[in-house]
Amino acid sequence: EDKVVQSPLSLVVHEGDTVTLNCSYEVTNFRSLLWYKQEKKAPTFLFMLTSSGIEKKSGRLSSILDKKELFSILNITATQTGDSAVYLCAVDCGKSTFGDGTTLTVKP
Amino acid sequence: NAGVTQTPKFQVLKTGQSMTLQCAQDMNHNSMYWYRQDPGMGLRLIYYSASEGTTDKGEVPNGYNVSRLNKREFSLRLESAAPSQTSVYFCASSALTDYEQYFGPGTRLTVT
């Protein structure tokens, strides 16, 4: 059975802090790993990773994949209150399997 | 472009009633998906359609049926609703199955 596990389940930080969210997976026929942000509505796409060791970056957010150790991390630097959301990791292996998400709360 | 649209936005059903959730996308995507999201949990795949004319079961298909009516539309049917099906339902689409997915606004379904 395909499995995606995210940690921590929740995290509370203050503005300006740097956070690292983790996603580990056990799937057959891995094709890609995707990160989404969900703010009380529909998830929105952040990154898609297919190759190990290549960092994807967008502003203060970055992500990297390790296909040997079967995990990915999502980093957010200089956090802002607008970063408060649930961050979802999904692995595509012909069909999508999502983790349960990490709830990030950024306090002013 | 409207992206992915879903109807209805909210629905309350009694146990045993049936209903169909509608989803349409205008991005010419090949693949479409139905998920449910229970409180505090991630998305669980109910059914997906990799391309027009095909549908496959996801992680939690029991109690649901789907129809890929054409390339744009993918509907989800509950034949006999149960309280365990109370959830938020999201439809999504992607160019191909391993590309990023675009989500509709969701349908909040309550079964009493």
Helices (H), A1-108: none
**Cis ω on the peptide bond leading into residue A108 (within 30° of 0)?**
no
pLDDT less than 50: residues of chain B: none
DSSP string, B52-100: TT--EE-S--TTEEEEE-SSSBEEEEESS--GGG-EEEEEEEESSTTSP
- How many CB atoms are closer than 10 A to CB B45? 21
Q: How confident is the model over A52-91, as pLDDT tens digits?
A: 888 999 999 999 999 999 999 999 999 999 999 999 999 9
Query: CB contact, 8 Å: B90 with chain A?
Result: yes
Tell me what pLDDT residue A29 has.
86
Write the residue in B33, B42, B98 that is nearest to A88 by C-beta.
B42
Chain-centre distance for alpha carbon B49: 11
Distance from CA of B62 to the nearest CA of A (A): 17
> From the candidates A44, A49, A87, A96, which should be mutated to test the interface with B, based on the most B CB atoms within 10 A?
A96
What secondary structure letter does DSSP report for A81? Answer: G
Write the residue in A4, A31, A45 that is nearest to B100 by C-beta.
A45
Place of tokens 């505090």: B40
Q: How confident is the model over B73-86, as pLDDT tens digits?
A: 999 999 999 999 99
Q: Could A41 and B98 be called an inter-chain contact, meaning their C-beta atoms sit closer than 8 Å?
A: no
pLDDT exceeds cutoff 90 at A16: yes
What 3-state DSSP class applies to B45?
strand
